């Protein structure tokens, strides 16, 4: 991509050099703080960082009416901007729809003729976001963008025709990048489904396609090899065998794993450091190497993981059931069966509650599992490992490609809106 013929030094740190024909002025000469209220019948909008300012029905499944009289809410029009709360890492949001927003937000309206979409892209650029840091007030969770401070920042001002050309170019290019990202995300979801199907088939059918089958008696398991056995979970493993006693030394230090820190796809992805005296009362479960942990609360999360040497040093929430396999069960066979749809569907159906479905340890122990001889279990696990690693590697590559596309998109926006890259009119591309 080409650069402009000549540049000049703007003298503005975050802008650096800009095309010679561009101007730059303080933000207060382009935008004003606008507060128009007493329009309670206008559509209620949400201010989001990924979609901008849009109707609440676009982003929320259930409408939750805000507290306070709607007469106090601020009216905002399409093309205006809202300064989002506590979003100093990119919080000037473009409004796509007329309506009202919380009075806690600052509404910015243009003071002169500009192309708002150009500034929509500018406000999301790396360079401008760095400038936002100079206009933050408050500390920690209370940090907000101060428009009185931000209004003294300089903004580039290309001619309106060029602003339009830049906005149109970025609309086209970013849409294509987003489409490519969406395709790769769908590919990842299909690969994850394939992985689950592979595991399900291996732990319920084995590796011999010609083996004679029998009905397991469980809808989610289906037919299994005739020589396999059907049992209850509590018959093949111990459940919650070890727990931290209440008289544990109050200065005992440990790493804690909560339900929200575990996922079916990635296992444990977050741990917190505690001493016993400061730890949550639910931080009690002990898991040993070779055990499997599975969530019994918020069971829709399918928080399941296999415990290795390092993970055996952690303490787990009582929201987990810790499964310790008996001698005739290969630990990783149990872990993979519990991860499969054959088991997670049983957990879902037997969970109680709508918002926070849960299943107690006694009920989970009565769920159906299948198993075969130890040697066959080991063969199945070797097959799963070799097959799943190929899928995992492809997923990893797709995720890296997505990150590169996102990075390219941000670099493209940054380069174009600050004039580091020249955008030609469409007919000249």
* pLDDT digits 0-9 by tens, 82-140: 997 666 566 799 999 999 999 989 999 999 999 999 999 999 999 998 888 777 665 44
Q: Answer yes or no: is 198 within a domain.
A: no
Distance, CA of 97 to CA of 77 (rounded, Å): 6
For residue 266, the domain's CATH number is 3.90.220.20
What pLDDT score does 244 carry?
94
Length of the chain: 429
Which residue in 335, 338, 296 sits closest to 318, CA to CA?
296
Q: Which domain holds residue 20?
A: 7-158
* Percentage of the chain exceeding pLDDT 70: 93
Distance, CA of 178 to CA of 158 (rounded, Å): 26
What pLDDT score does 428 carry?
40
Q: Answer yes or no: is 21 within a domain.
A: yes
Q: Kindly state whether residues 221 and 82 are assigned to the same domain.
A: no
Distance, CA of 334 to CA of 317 (rounded, Å): 21
Q: Kindly state whether residues 299 and 216 are assigned to the same domain.
A: yes
Q: Kindly state whether residues 13 and 92 are assigned to the same domain.
A: yes
Q: Answer yes or no: is 196 within a domain.
A: no
Q: Answer yes or no: is 167 within a domain.
A: no
Q: Answer yes or no: is 179 within a domain.
A: no
Tens digit of each residue's pLDDT (9 = 90 or more) over 319-377: 999 999 999 999 999 999 999 999 999 999 999 998 899 999 999 999 999 999 999 99
What pLDDT score does 140 carry?
47
Contact 131, 109 (CB under 8 A): no
* pTM recorded for the entire structure: 0.81
Q: Kindly state whether residues 303 and 220 are assigned to the same domain.
A: yes
What pLDDT score does 88 carry?
57
pLDDT of residue 429 exceeding 50, the answer is no
What pLDDT score does 300 carry?
93
Q: Kindly state whether residues 22 and 146 are assigned to the same domain.
A: yes
Instruction: Give the number of domains in the chain.
Output: 2
pLDDT of residue 426 exceeding 60, the answer is no
Distance, CA of 212 to CA of 230 (rounded, Å): 16
Q: Answer yes or no: is 53 within a domain.
A: yes
Tens digit of each residue's pLDDT (9 = 90 or more) over 397-411: 999 999 999 999 999
Which residue in 116, 112, 109, 371 sits closest to 237, CA to CA?
371
Q: Quote the mean pLDDT of the chain.
A: 91
Q: Answer yes or no: is 376 within a domain.
A: no
Poorest-pLDDT segment among 40-54, 245-259, 287-301, 415-429: 415-429
Element holding 237 (H helix, E strand): strand 237-239
Confidence of residue 57 (pLDDT cuts 50, 70, 90): confident
Q: Answer yes or no: is 84 within a domain.
A: yes
Q: Kindly state whether residues 19 and 116 are assigned to the same domain.
A: yes
Q: Kindly state whether residues 321 and 260 are assigned to the same domain.
A: yes
Q: Kindly state whether residues 330 and 244 are assigned to the same domain.
A: yes
Interhelix angle 341-350/160-205, nearest 10 degrees: 100
């Amino acid at each position: 991509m080409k650069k402009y013929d000549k540049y000049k030094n703007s003298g503005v740190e975050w802008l650096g050099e800009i095309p010679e024909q561009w101007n730059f002025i303080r933000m207060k000469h382009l935008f004003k703080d606008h507060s128009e209220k007493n329009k309670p019948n206008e559509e209620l909008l949400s201010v989001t960082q990924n979609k901008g300012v849009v109707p609440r029905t676009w982003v929320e499944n259930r409408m939750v009416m805000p507290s306070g009289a709607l007469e106090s809410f601020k009216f905002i029009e399409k093309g205006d901007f809202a300064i989002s709360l506590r979003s100093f890492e990119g919080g000037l949001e473009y409004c796509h729809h007329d309506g009202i927003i919380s009075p806690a937000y600052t509404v910015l309206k243009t003071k002169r003729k500009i192309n708002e979409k150009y500034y929509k892209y500018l406000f999301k650029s790396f360079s401008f976001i760095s400038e936002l840091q100079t206009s933050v007030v408050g500390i920690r969770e209370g940090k907000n963008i101060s428009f009185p401070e931000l209004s003294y920042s300089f903004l580039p001002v290309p001619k309106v025709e060029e602003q339009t050309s830049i906005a149109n170019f970025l609309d086209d290019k970013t849409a294509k990048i987003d489409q490519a990202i969406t395709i790769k995300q769908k590919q990842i979801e299909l690969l994850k489904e394939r992985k689950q199907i592979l595991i399900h088939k291996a732990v319920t059918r084995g590796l011999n396609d010609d083996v004679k089958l029998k009905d397991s008696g469980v809808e989610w398991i289906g037919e299994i090899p005739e020589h396999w056995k059907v049992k209850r979970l509590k018959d093949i493993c111990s459940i919650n065998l070890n727990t931290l006693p209440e008289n544990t030394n109050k200065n005992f230090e440990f790493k804690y794993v909560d339900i929200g820190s575990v996922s079916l796809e990635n296992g444990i992805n977050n741990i917190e450091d505690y001493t016993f005296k400061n730890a949550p009362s639910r931080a009690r479960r002990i898991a040993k190497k070779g055990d499997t942990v599975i969530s019994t609360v918020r069971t829709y999360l399918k928080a399941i993981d296999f415990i290795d040497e390092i993970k055996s040093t952690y303490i787990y929430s009582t929201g987990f059931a810790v499964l310790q396999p008996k001698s005739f069960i290969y630990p990783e066979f149990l872990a993979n069966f519990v991860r499969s749809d054959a088991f997670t569907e049983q957990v879902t159906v037997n969970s109680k509650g709508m918002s926070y479905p849960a299943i107690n340890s006694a009920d989970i122990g009565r769920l159906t599992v299948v198993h075969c001889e130890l040697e066959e279990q080991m063969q199945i696990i070797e097959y799963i490992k070799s097959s799943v690693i190929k899928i995992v590697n492809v997923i990893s590559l797709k995720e890296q490609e997505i990150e590169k596309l996102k990075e390219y998109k941000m670099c493209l926006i940054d380069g174009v809106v600050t004039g580091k890259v020249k955008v030609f009119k469409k007919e000249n591309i």
